[in-house]
Amino acid sequence: MTTYVPDIEKAPEAGSRKEPSYLDVTKGFWSWAGTLDHKRIGLMYLVGVTAAFLCGGILALLIRLHLWTPDGAIFENAVYNQVFTLHGVFMVFIFIIPAIPASLGNFVLPLMLGAPDVALPRLNLASFYLWLTGTIMAIYSILSGAVDTGWTFYTPYSLQTQQAVVSMGLAVFTLGFSSIFTGLNFIVTIHKMRARGQTWFKLPLFCWAIYATSVLQVLATPVLGITVLLLAFEHLYHIGIFDPAHGGDPVLFQHFFWFYSHPAVYIMILPAMGVISEVVTVHSRKPLFGYKLLAFSSISIAVISFLVWGHHMFTSGESEFVMLAFSFLTMLVAIPTAIKEFSWVATIWGGSVALTAPMLYAIAFLIIFAIGGLTGVFLGTLSVDIHLHDTYFVVAHFHAVMMGSTALAFFAGVHHWWPKMFGRMYNETLAKISAILILVGFNVTFLPQFAMGSQGMPRRYATYIPEWQIYHQWSTVGAVILGIGFALMLGYLIHSLFAGRKAAANEWGGVTMDWESPTPPNLYNFDEEPVVTGELYDYGHGAKH
């Protein structure tokens, strides 16, 4: 096998295909709205979650602009509380949880397995419509009086507030089922739909990551569903489970909530890690360093992540033994996470490194993920967490993991598979500029937040003492830079759909099966049924072990 060089001149002409691409095979609204094709469903998700990201992002900018002055520049406190709640709900439940699995996962997973579709195409479409219904319900809750509880819905505040908590809870319940359906589908697909010859250890790491994520989705999300249902019942009928006024325990809610929401952090980050593994190997033209360790670390992170939820509640009055256990287990998660980071760096090291747009996004991920991971250790450390808990340090930490890592990995993946999805390329110069703007903007936004958090600035404050103004202003400047970066991205991606140059069949020279299909793929993906014979990640000069 020789090294692959993308040959743009020889990009396949429409006529030279054996079959029309999945984009051309049928036309019209219903051919999309009723489609069972995993690629079209993936694209509908892509459009949906991007729209959600846009809404959440605009809310984020409003938050940052409001905090320009200590007394709050824009909103009354009550409105500010609604704005940050909506920002959280949109970004967490509607954007980031489905972002990678449901859009990229849907598109890429069957291709990587050499399969014509996912195992359960109808369930896949149902999952999309549940997502859409949940989103519409969330928007309805906003219109019917908004929600000001924060995305965490802590009791008893969420039981006392006058607002649309019940309908927002039901929205989250519905979104949760969408997530469960997707997870279930992918588990079955990975078990049943692998190409001939594709053993488990010939699965690309993205598949491993999606597999680990799906297990989490199926096991953890029902707990969220039960929790928000109980919350709704408590709100409506005072069943006395979370409300101390009726004999309930508000801290129980926190246990239930974080039993889901900590694994949810890994529902977000594991697929991101999978994307980064793929991008890093292809653009370094080098097999992944420590493949098995990377695969097993995904699984071990998934397992341990079920046992650490109590680290969100170190100040709630847990017993010392409980704190000991949760702190210890939290520290354990840091180890496979560190292994992953080092393995990616080692993959790039000595590669044939192409600083393409997807690669720049991936490098930005590696930088910010290091920050997010390291600051996580601060928060897992008991005595230090007592000081940092519920401050901007936590805000900055989880934005590093969710926004700076998961969202960036999502965009790295979008740029990486974009030519495969649409058969067209975007303007790479602009893409690189936007990657750099986002990396810079992220750090200008969140490094000041780490600083003021360690000084004690509590989170979810509509107003603050003037000492912190300078940090808030820097943070707002950073958010504006981020906003420009994302706006630019949206611009050149949309432009590419209509006027981008034709992409090569294998734009980056990837060697996993997703690159073997025609570009864009056929309705059932491949011209011939693929069979796996060679090594995984073989770039043409054999892997040394």
Task: Name which of residues 313 to 342 contact other proteins (CB under 8 A).
Answer: 314-317, 320, 323-324, 327-328, 331-332, 334-335, 338-339, 341-342
Judged by beta carbon, residue 101 or residue 380, the one nearer other proteins is 380
Q: Which stretch binds other proteins (CB under 8 A): 19-27, 131-139, 350-358, 477-485?
A: 350-358
Using the rule CB under 8 A, is 428 a contact of other proteins?
no
Hey, which residues does 391 pair with through a beta bridge?
Answer: 458
Residue with tokens 């940092």: 388
328 binds, among Cu ion, other proteins, none (CB under 5 to 8 A by kind): other proteins
CA distances from 449 to 44, 393, 445, 453, 485 (A): 35, 6, 7, 6, 20
* Residue of 78, 436, 494, 497 that binds other proteins (CB under 8 A): 78
In the complex, least distance from residue 148 CB atom to other proteins, rounded to whole angstroms: 7
Using the rule CB under 8 A, is 9 a contact of other proteins?
no
Rounded Cα gap, residues 195 and 109, in angstroms: 12
Using the rule CB under 8 A, is 74 a contact of other proteins?
no
Rounded Cα gap, residues 405 and 364, in angstroms: 8
Minimal CA–CA distance to 128: which of 54, 40, 219? 40
456 binds, among Cu ion, other proteins, none (CB under 5 to 8 A by kind): other proteins
Rounded Cα gap, residues 172 and 177, in angstroms: 9
54 binds, among other proteins, Cu ion, none (CB under 5 to 8 A by kind): none
Using the rule CB under 8 A, is 539 a contact of other proteins?
yes
Judged by beta carbon, residue 82 or residue 427, the one nearer other proteins is 82
* Residue of 455, 497, 501, 529 that binds other proteins (CB under 8 A): 455
Which residues sit at the interface with Cu ion, rule CB under 5 A?
262
The answer to whether the Cα torsion of 48, 485, 342, 91 is positive or negative is negative
544 binds, among other proteins, Cu ion, none (CB under 5 to 8 A by kind): other proteins
In the complex, least distance from residue 376 CB atom to Cu ion, rounded to whole angstroms: 9
In the complex, least distance from residue 192 CB atom to other proteins, rounded to whole angstroms: 29
140 binds, among other proteins, Cu ion, none (CB under 5 to 8 A by kind): none
| Other C-beta atoms lying within 10 Å of the C-beta of residue 487 | 13
Judged by beta carbon, residue 76 or residue 529, the one nearer other proteins is 76
160 binds, among other proteins, Cu ion, none (CB under 5 to 8 A by kind): other proteins
In the complex, least distance from residue 458 CB atom to Cu ion, rounded to whole angstroms: 8
Q: Is 508 helix (H, G, I), strand (E, B) or coil?
A: coil
Size, binding site for other proteins by CB under 8 A: 97
Minimal CA–CA distance to 216: which of 307, 332, 123? 307
- Range 417-432 burial, b when 16+ CB lie within 10 A, else e: bbbbbbbbbbbeebbb
Using the rule CB under 8 A, is 286 a contact of other proteins?
yes
Judged by beta carbon, residue 197 or residue 350, the one nearer other proteins is 350
34 binds, among other proteins, Cu ion, none (CB under 5 to 8 A by kind): none
262 binds, among Cu ion, other proteins, none (CB under 5 to 8 A by kind): Cu ion
Q: Is 243 helix (H, G, I), strand (E, B) or coil?
A: coil
CA distances from 240 to 163, 228, 507 (A): 20, 14, 59
Q: Is 477 exposed, middle or buried (0-12, 13-18, 19+ CB in 10 A)?
A: middle
Minimal CA–CA distance to 5: which of 285, 421, 359? 285
Residues between 467 and 486 with contacts to other proteins, criterion CB under 8 A: none
Q: Is 10 exposed, middle or buried (0-12, 13-18, 19+ CB in 10 A)?
A: exposed
* Residue of 12, 20, 121, 458 that binds other proteins (CB under 8 A): 458
367 binds, among Cu ion, other proteins, none (CB under 5 to 8 A by kind): other proteins
To the nearest 10°, report the CA torsion of 147, 152, 156, 157.
-40
Half-sphere exposure of 511 (CA within 13 A, CB side): 26
Residues between 363 and 402 with contacts to other proteins, criterion CB under 8 A: 363, 366-367, 370-371, 374-375, 377-378, 380-387, 389-391
Judged by beta carbon, residue 20 or residue 351, the one nearer other proteins is 351
Judged by beta carbon, residue 28 or residue 319, the one nearer other proteins is 319
Hey, which residues does 458 pair with through a beta bridge?
Answer: 391
Judged by beta carbon, residue 128 or residue 344, the one nearer other proteins is 344
* Residue of 31, 196, 463, 497 that binds other proteins (CB under 8 A): 463
Residue with tokens 């039993």: 259
In the complex, least distance from residue 424 CB atom to other proteins, rounded to whole angstroms: 20
Using the rule CB under 8 A, is 464 a contact of other proteins?
yes
Judged by beta carbon, residue 57 or residue 376, the one nearer Cu ion is 376
Using the rule CB under 8 A, is 54 a contact of other proteins?
no
Joined together, the tokens standing for residue 446 give 């969140």
Rounded Cα gap, residues 359 and 272, in angstroms: 14
Q: Which stretch binds other proteins (CB under 8 A): 53-61, 75-83, 166-174, 420-428?
A: 75-83
Rounded Cα gap, residues 153 and 168, in angstroms: 10
What mask, x for binding other proteins by CB under 8 A, covers residues 193 to 232?
Answer: ----------------------------------------
Using the rule CB under 8 A, is 6 a contact of other proteins?
yes
Joined together, the tokens standing for residue 254 give 């926190």
Using the rule CB under 8 A, is 303 a contact of other proteins?
no
- CB contact at 8 A, 359 and 282: no
Residues between 147 and 186 with contacts to other proteins, criterion CB under 8 A: 148, 150, 154, 156-157, 160-162
Residue 385 corresponds to which amino acid?
D
Rounded Cα gap, residues 436 and 444, in angstroms: 12
* Residue of 25, 195, 229, 251 that binds other proteins (CB under 8 A): 251
Rounded Cα gap, residues 229 and 246, in angstroms: 17
Rounded Cα gap, residues 438 and 53, in angstroms: 15
